[in-house]
Structure 1
C-alpha cells in the first residue's frame, strides 16, 4: 500500500509524540477521530508502525558514555557471521549492531557509565565475541544531534 499525505502526517506526528491521544492526532491531521483511528490501525497492521516505546534519558540512568566499536571478523563465512550476531545480541550494553560494507564488518553502539565501565564491558563481553580479528573503539565526546524520526 502506498502512503498518502495524511498517512505521512500521522506517522510524522506519532514519531514525535507517540502517546498523543487519538483526539489530538485527528485534530492535527484534520480527520475525524474515527477515520484517524482506522488509519492508525491500518498503519500498525501493515507494519509501518512497528511499536510504541519510551525514549529514556541515558544520563539519568547512569550510562552517559556512548562508544562506537568497529569490529573486523576473521572471516565472512555464514557460520562466523551467525555466531557473532547471536552472541552480540546477548550483551545488554550494546544498543545497536550494524553489518557494514567498508573497512569494518560491524559497528556497535555501546553505552557505559564511564571509561572504566566500558573497560569492564570490553573485558567481560566484547573481547569474548566469536570470530573477532580486530576491534577499534571510539568514544563520543558530545552528541550534536539525535533523532529517532525517519524522514517522511
Structure 2
C-alpha cells in the first residue's frame, strides 16, 4: 500500500479499532433492547406454551350435558411440563366446575368468559411452577 511500514501498521490498527467499535455498538444496542413484560405474546409463544385438553363430556346440574375442549396457555416451559403431568387434575377441575353449573349459566359469550376465568383461577391454585395466562375454549356444545 504505502511505502512506509509505520503508516501501513497505523492504518490497519485504525481500521481494526473502528470495526471493533462498530461491532460493539451494534451488540450493545441489540442486547439492550428492553422486553416489554406487558406486550401481547405472539401466536408462536401462545402455541409453544399451550396445553390442550382432551374432549370432555359431562352432565350439568340442570340435567343437560356439555361437550368441551380447552387450550390452556401458561407463562413458561416449566409450567407447561407441570400442567402436562397434572392433566388428570386439570380435567377433574373442569368436570367439577361444569357439574356445578346450569345450562343457562353457560349460554353466550358471557357464560364462556366466566367459566374460562373460573378455570384459570382454579388451575392457578394447583400450579407450583408458573401460572396459567389464559384458558381458551376450542370446542363447545351444550345440550
TM-score (norm 1): 0.30
Q: Which has the higher helix share?
A: 2
